[in-house]
Amino acid sequence: MRDIKERDVVKALKTRVKQLGGTVRKVRWIGRRNAPDLLVMWIDKKRLRNAVWVEAKAPGENPSAAQHREHARMRSYGMRVAVVDSPEAVDNLLGLS
């Protein structure tokens, strides 16, 4: 079995979101470091709109301390921020499991 890399997690995220009729946007932050680089938007089974900022990591990797601070800052403004490190974590985030 091959090692799963961050790009594999991102690919799984894009595939599953597309299956839900949603979209994933790659975001570049001007003048801001450590923010999540993916914006995910979809409609769930209950027909509720969902949007979440996503930080993808390779399995077992954790966000840096600076990323944790930036995620906390974003959450303080009411943003939803998630970290996924596996296809299973993607399914949990999207309510598929």
What does the domain layout of the chain look like in residue ranges?
6-94
Helices (H), 3-78: 6-19, 65-76
Question: What are the pLDDT digits (tens) for 23-76?
Answer: 999 999 998 889 999 999 988 777 677 899 999 999 999 999 999 999 999 999
| pLDDT score recorded for residue 92 | 94
Q: What are phi and psi of 34, to 5 degrees?
A: 75, 10
Phi and psi, residue 41, nearest 5°: -130, 135
Give the pLDDT band of residue 1 (cuts 50, 70, 90).
very low
pTM assigned to the model: 0.89
Distance from C-alpha of 65 to C-alpha of 43, rounded to nearest angstrom = 32
CATH class of this structure's domain 6-94: alpha beta
